[in-house]
Structure formats: C-alpha cells, structure tokens
Structure 1
Amino acid sequence: MVVDDSAIARGFVRRWVETEDGMEIVASLQTAREALNYLERTDPDVVVLDIEMPDMDGITALPLILQKRPDVAVIIASTLTRRNAEISLRALSLGALDCIQKPDAQGAVTSESYRHALVTRIRELGARARRVPAITKIPSVEPATPKGKSGANILAFVNTREPISLRPMPTTAPRVLVVGSSTGGPQALTEICTRLGPVIDQAPVLITQHMPPTFTSILAEHLARATGRPAQEAEDGEPICAGHIYIAPGHRHFRVARTNGQPVAILDDAPPVHFCKPAVDILFSSAAEVWGAWVLGLVLTGMGTDGTGGAADIVASGGSIIAQDEATSIVWGMPGSVAQAGLCSSILPLNEIAPAITHIFTGRRA
C-alpha cells in the first residue's frame, strides 16, 4: 500500500513495484484516512507512508495503522527537511521499520540506486511480515569442531542453515569500536550507545548507518542527548579522538586514515558500494588498516551484505567482530552475512551487546 498526497510519488512507487516479480500494489491512496479504511480489505504486507499529508499526517496515522495491523511493515517516506527527519526518527521509535527519502521528479531521488534501495526494503520487509516467528538458538551439548577451525564454538539453529562457527576472541584489548547498521539501526544504536559510557570515554566510536542526508545529522544529535557524550557527523580531516561518537554523513563515504600518527576522518564522494552510500565496508576496511588488531567491529540489523568484506579485513588484521542475532534484528541481512561467513567471535541479542562490549574493552574477554 502506498499512501502519499503526491501523485508523482505514488506513480514512481507503483511503476517500480509493478515491474518486480512477486510484488503488487494493493492500494495507492492520497490520504491517511483512506489508508485506515482500506487496510483490512487490502491486507498489505508493507505500507509506504508519507509524513506530510492533508487531514491526517503520517505520524498521527502510524499508531492507528499498527493498532489495526500490528504485523504490517511501515516504511516512512520523507522529504529531506530537518523537521521531517526529526519526525521520521520519532516514527521509528513508534514502530515504523525504516525511513527513506520521498521519491520526486529530481534525478537523484529517482536514480537506479534509489529505486534499488526502495524496492529492496519493500521486498525484505514484506518477506519479514510473512515469515514465521524468529528462529531459536540452541547450544550443542558437545560442539563440533569443523576442520581448520580448531577451538571454534558452534551455534546450532533450528532451521536448514549450516551451523555457524565462532572465532576465538582475540586477546588484544580493542582501542576503537566501529559499527555498521541499516534497517532498524537507529533504535539499536540508541539502545547500545546509551549503555556504553565507559567504553566511549576510553575509545572513539565510529558509525556507518544507512540513512539519507539530514537524517544522519539528527541521529547524531539524538545519540549525543542519549549518551551525554559528543556525537556528530564526521568532518573531513578532523582528528578521531576517544570520548566521541562519529557518524558517517548521509551520501558521503566515511573512512579513516593516519596523518602524522593521528587517526583522522576522510569523507569522499565515491560511487555507492553494494548500492550503499555511506558504506560499512569502507569504514571497516579503513579501520583495519589504521588500527589493525585493536579494532572491534559490530554489525547490527540491516538488509544486504554491506560490512562483510570490511569485517573480513578486520579479522585478517587480528581484530574481532560481534553481530546482532536474528531474533532481535529487524532484518538479519548484514549481521547474518558476517555470521554465515564465519567472521564473528560472538552473535548476541541486542540487550546483551553493550555489556559484552564493555567486558571486552575492560579486558574480561570470556
């Protein structure tokens, strides 16, 4: 279901979705009140919901939609104003699963990468809405040790996937935390960062969250308020210092380099990686070059595979990776990819990640 007072925006989404196999538009509506009336009869898996509409806006309609259909996946579509970015992040806290820039007639917003991002979100979140409840992890009584991975632990899953092997946690205490996240990331980042005060005080925290411009700036402000620590979009050439949270600006890649012995932020306008800009792979790979074995990487909820290549570079440099588990992830794409690649030293539910990171940074690594 597409709910937007702009006929242009509705037209773009309809054309994109109708060319995809296995997807259809069940309703294309210009008001939120129409959406509430059509919700039960059309039974959508996904609602793409505009923020600014006459009569009833998206933030008012959201809880009413979820009250009628708690299992529906809502994607907020918003123009890139500061006010709408604030509202969109509030919508995520109220139960929307993702937010994306509203399509319009501007070339950047109707590009192939944008179309891919929107269609992928609709497909992945629609599949999630139809999926059975999250799988349950059960520990093996006597974990097997696969050939070539001496001492690795095994997590067995109640499904048809291959068991996931965990790497031993390195003995070197990390000096930097790098984080990659996408769909569901803002909520997960807030949950974790608010409990990482002692870690932030002793080490920089670098974050790539897949979000448009303006949204990342608002996210930084929210994290600063929630943590009581400085948090801001990274600026090109600025030193990376302990006690600070740095966030990749929307539509700019964020990597780190060493200048005169000091790690600094580098922003660039290179093409998207995995259709993502900013890309987690770029941040992770550059962190591995700068800090080597002193890197702890964290991959949170999100669709796609961005972060897996960079996580491999961190592991090759002697660092370690933690991934969010499937049960607490909105989409287990990014964390699932690094887990299934055998790159993780730990796979944890959201509420256990901050305590684990604190233990790792303080030297209690079991």
Structure 2
Amino acid sequence: MASDLPAPATGARDGVIRVMLVDDSAVIRGLFTRALEADPELQVVASVGDGKMAVAALKRTPVDIIILDIEMPVMDGLTALPLLKEVLPEVRVIMASTLTRKNAEVSLRAMRDGAADYVTKPSSTSELTSAEHFKQELIAKIKALVGSRRSPRLDRPGMPPRPASVPPVGQAATAAVAPAGSERHPLFPRAKGGPLTLRPMVHDVPEVIAIGSSTGGPQALFQVLGNLPKNLRQPILITQHMPATFTTILAEHLTRIADRPCSEAVDGQVLQPGHIYVAPGDFHMIVESQGTSKVLRLLKTPPENFCRPAVDPMLRSLAAIYGRRLLVIILTGMGQDGMRGSDVVVQSGGMIIGQDEASSVVWGMPGAVATAGLCSQILPLSDIGPFILKQAMRTAA
C-alpha cells in the first residue's frame, strides 16, 4: 500500500482487507457491514451515502477496496469512480447494483473506466438479509481482488479475533516459465516455486477460437477483441461468468468494440464465420455437429465449478469436434473453471493460451491452467490479440 497510510493502532493485527461501503441506504450499508465483518479478514473502515462523500472519505482513510452503489443522490457511482481512482489509483472498486438492464449497462461502462468487478444486489433488504449466496460471492470477490495486499485491522469491541496465521488469499506463484517443448502430465501441478511448464505449440490453423473469462473478463475481452481485425474468419465463442441481462449488454458492447457481429448464443443457431457468440447468463453453451454444420446448444444442466454458464462444458464440446483445430484463450478470473476442459482440449490436440499473472485482475482461471502444465503460451493481455491473429491468419501447411 502507499506510504501515507496511517500507522496501525496499538494491538492491531496485520493482514486484513479494509473496505469502504458507498450506498445511499443506511440499512443496506448496515447489512453489508455485518456480513463483511463476520469474516475476521475484513474490516469496514468507512461507510458513506453518496459518491461525493466517498471521495472525501478516501482522502482521509485509504482503503483496499470500495463497494460502490450505482444510483445515489448528489453523486452517482459512475461519476465518482474516476475521482476515487484519482485519489487512490491502486484501490479496487466493485460496482453494486440491482439486476436491471440500465444497471448492467452502467456496470459494464464502469468496468471499462476502471472498476474491477460488479455484484448484483438482491432487490430488497429482506432478500439481502437472507441472501447467503450473495454474501459469500461478495466476500470471495473481495478476497480474490485484493489478494495479499492488505492493511492492519483496527480491533473493535465485539469483533471476532483474527486467527494468528491466515494464508494469503488469491496469492499466485511467480510465473517463471520452463523451456518451450517441456512436457508435464496434464493437471499435475508444478512444485511450489518451480517453473511453469509450457506444452509444444500446435501447428494446425484453428477453425474456431474459444475464450473463457470471469473476474476482470469484460475489460480483458474489450482489449483482446478490439485488437482483432473485423475480417477474421474464425467464429469466436465466449463464456464469461455473468448473469442474464449482463451477457446481453456485454454482447452489444463487443459488437461495437470488435466491429463485427456479436450476439448472445441462441439454441440451434448455426456457427457462422467471423461471428462472436456469448454464452447467455444461466445457460451452458456447447456446440454439436449436425451434418456439415456446427450448431450451438444451450443447456440448463447443473452448474459446473459453481458456475452457469461455465467454461468447461464449452471446451469439452469443442474439443470433440475440432481437435487440433481449436485455439483456447483463458483470461483473468476467479477459481479454476476451464482447467479440466482445457485438459480435454490438450488431449484432443488443441492449444491453450493463458493470460499472465501481471496483467490479470485475478490470476485464478489462467493460473490454474498454467500451473497444471496445459498452456503453450502464457502472455500479457496486450499480446493475446496479436497472437490470436498470427495463428488465425496462417495458411495450412
């Protein structure tokens, strides 16, 4: 953290994530505070009712992460976001809103402007009180986003004591890389601190490109697809962990950024060259062969890796059809969705590219495939678009 942080109070325990809550409802802020501070690794150090107050509070009390409501009087969340980042550029911001089309649009704009992630709030205080899944999701995102970059916790009466030793959350290993051409059994992790093992490059020209992403994914997708020419012939399939409504808006944003057709997948839709397809919220997206056509299918089968849509089902279906002619990109995200699907891709002869740790908002998903020895390349975000283009524009030998 920055050197101007206040010195820890006497008896403070280190390793705690300091949170600011910004919401015009005092009731909501109170519920958030109780939910977060039930976890000994989190401390709410500021709680304010609008964006203007948040900017002023941040100047007095630097924090690790801000939960920022969208619709507020005086100054809304989208207006406050750049001002907060100006005060403390390294602060992580999670946008919080109810699930409406307007709020989904604003949340995606906020992520383009520097927000790290978003959460969809239950629509009423009674739902929020009982929404254990929402509370768990919020806490998991906070810990993944902040990782081991923490501050001293100022103990307060009635707060649970923090355990004497808590391992860093979301801490990823150093991305040293073993020489290209090294082999490692898929899903066999490297030794702690050892180099990441790269698989040999696949030399078949890909016929389809698949991308999996989660936390930080929209920002990464905007950059990767914005770096690709609109005449790229391969269809691109995207599974981004998002609820319905958000995936609709994401597809609209990608259409503008990529300057090529992009839409939510529709069941029974035939894959077309040059199109981008986004898995809709709450549906797994897979591909089936029907004669000479490749057809999208949307499934309500159980969540995988606690997600629906999930990356693994998409990758399994594509590996079965395309084999060596499949290129997979695993971008920033929490958890390890995509790792087992990537194993199937590798066994079928396809190629996996992982985003590197330094450019990832959270190095969970790409870190999982990298440390499992499944990647042929581990690249910074800025290099992924050019790499896709180079592979896609090659001519068959």
Q: What's the TM-score, normalizing by structure 1?
A: 0.88
Among residues 75, 90, 102, which one is paired with 1:83 in the alignment? Answer: 102
Among residues 215, 235, 242, which one is paired with 1:211 in the alignment? Answer: 242
* Cα distance change on mapping 1:16 and 1:272 into 2, 3 Å: farther
Among residues 52, 56, 71, which one is paired with 2:71 in the alignment? Answer: 52
Aligned to 1:259: 290
CA distance, structure 2, for counterparts of residue 108 and residue 276 of structure 1: 21
Among residues 297, 300, 317, which one is paired with 2:331 in the alignment? Answer: 300
Q: What's the TM-score, normalizing by structure 2?
A: 0.81
Deviation at 1:110, TM superposition (A): 5.9
Aligned to 2:147: 127
Aligned to 2:11: none
Local SS of the residue matching 2:43: coil
CA distance, structure 2, for counterparts of residue 8 and residue 182 of structure 1: 30
Deviation at 1:10, TM superposition (A): 2.6
Among residues 200, 204, 216, which one is paired with 1:172 in the alignment? Answer: 204
Residue pair 2:122, 2:128 contacting (<8 A) in 1 also: no
Aligned to 1:237: 268
CA distance, structure 2, for counterparts of residue 168 and residue 181 of structure 1: 23
Deviation at 1:162, TM superposition (A): 1.8
Local SS of the residue matching 1:165: coil
C-alpha RMSD over aligned residues: 2.8
Give 5+ residue unaligned stretches, structure 2: 1-19, 151-167
Residue pair 2:315, 2:344 contacting (<8 A) in 1 also: yes
Alignment of 1:1-366 (within 5 A): 1-105=20-124, 111-127=131-147, 129-130=149-150, 143=179, 149=184, 161-197=193-229, 201-363=232-394
Local SS of the residue matching 2:197: strand
CA distance, structure 2, for counterparts of residue 189 and residue 114 of structure 1: 25
* Cα distance change on mapping 1:110 and 1:328 into 2, 3 Å: farther
Q: Higher helix fraction: Structure 1 or Structure 2?
A: 1
Local SS of the residue matching 1:267: strand
Query: Could you tell me the percent identity over the aligned residues?
Result: 47
CA distance, structure 2, for counterparts of residue 33 and residue 182 of structure 1: 30
CA distance, structure 2, for counterparts of residue 308 and residue 104 of structure 1: 34
Higher mean alpha-carbon deviation, 95-104 vs 346-355, is at: 95-104
* Cα distance change on mapping 1:108 and 1:235 into 2, 3 Å: farther
* Cα distance change on mapping 1:129 and 1:217 into 2, 3 Å: farther
Residue pair 2:175, 2:196 contacting (<8 A) in 1 also: no
CA distance, structure 1, for counterparts of residue 145 and residue 393 of structure 2: 37
Deviation at 1:103, TM superposition (A): 3.4
Give 5+ residue unaligned stretches, structure 1: 151-155
Residue pair 1:9, 1:103 contacting (<8 A) in 2 also: no
Deviation at 1:270, TM superposition (A): 2.9
CA distance, structure 1, for counterparts of residue 23 and residue 257 of structure 2: 32
Aligned to 1:153: none
Post-superposition CA distance 1:59-108 (Å, at most 9, x none): 11111111111111100012222222221111112111111212344759
Post-superposition CA distance 1:259-282 (Å, at most 9, x none): 334221111223332222211112
